[in-house]
Structure 1
């Protein structure tokens, strides 16, 4: 098995065996394939990019081409144990609506995103005065798919305002896990496990 991207490895570690998942913005299906092969998960995927859909299907995965902003509304309520949105939230036109659908479709939802409040991003703006280009944010301001720049504290505030329950939270600095203390400035990437309030 190919090594998973660090945020996907965290998600894979916490998905229960034998469950049903929907991976929204699944890319080439790396996470789905790993979960199918190691945990016998019934995995489905939704992906916007046709090339990624073809790559996932060539792995024997059930992936359809679609847009999270539009197509998640078509999925029935609680039809999956987990709905997964990895590095896709910040590219959605209406991330609030996408999250609502994610929590409606899945009994629990994993959400991972790059933290735009990381110290390197802040320093780039402070000293260079330009939008940062980093390993995790490699595109320039005019060709980036990121249209909503979210920070860990923004996301925590968002879920608290909506009464969404945080079942787990993990933070990454580079490819290594880091603690929750000062995560908003020290973590480059965040992974949250959420569920709707009872």
Structure 2
């Protein structure tokens, strides 16, 4: 199975034979790939029962759990990489999960839909909440409760002493470097402690 372009970026940042925790791991596609191609060990955490079953079928060690309850079950510095892919915007306490992922991991990889993307702005100007490939829900049934743009996330990192080590902004499968907050629909950040 081929990986989505954003998951390929994440996989490229993962050190072979490292310990990985994937928060909100979905069906386990990324972890299965990392286990096979990078020989990593670790876990996924997922709340959705159907996705937990898919993880198990893919050979991914998964814990069914609600990230809102925190990561108290994991010791400090127990992972090399902690991934939070397209989950930050669905968290009630985005700041706390960001702090926690760097407590349990040496490095975090965080991705989120960029609310500043021009098509989102256009839909708002037209009087509608955005719906797109990276924001596929209607306003009334979305799990997403916190929208942010690149500058918002970077300000949150600065506030909490989190170093941004690398940033990739994408639109579909393409990387965007010119006017990324306007032209990029998805942000991928590699972060660590300062």
Query: What band does the TM-score fall into relative to the shorter chain?
Result: over 0.9
1:82 equivalent in structure 2: 81
Give the one of 175, 183, 188 matched to 2:185.
Answer: 188
Query: Within 1, Cα distance between the matches of 2:70 and 2:50?
Result: 19
* Unaligned runs of at least 5 residues, structure 2: none
Query: Within 2, Cα distance between the matches of 1:80 and 1:174?
Result: 30
Q: Is the 8 A contact 2:99 2:160 kept in 1?
A: no
Query: Within 2, Cα distance between the matches of 1:185 and 1:157?
Result: 17
Cα drift, residue 3 of structure 1: 1.1
Alignment of 1:1-198 (within 5 A): 2-126=1-125, 128-179=126-177, 181-197=178-194
Q: Is the 8 A contact 1:75 1:105 kept in 2?
A: yes
Q: TM-score, with normalisation over the residues of structure 2? A: 0.97
Cα drift, residue 82 of structure 1: 0.4
| TM-align CA RMSD | 0.9
Q: Which runs of 4+ in 1 moved over 2 A?
A: none
Query: Within 2, Cα distance between the matches of 1:188 and 1:174?
Result: 7
Secondary structure, counterpart of 1:72 in structure 2: coil
Q: Is the 8 A contact 2:114 2:184 kept in 1?
A: yes
Cα drift, residue 184 of structure 1: 1.1
Cα drift, residue 66 of structure 1: 0.5
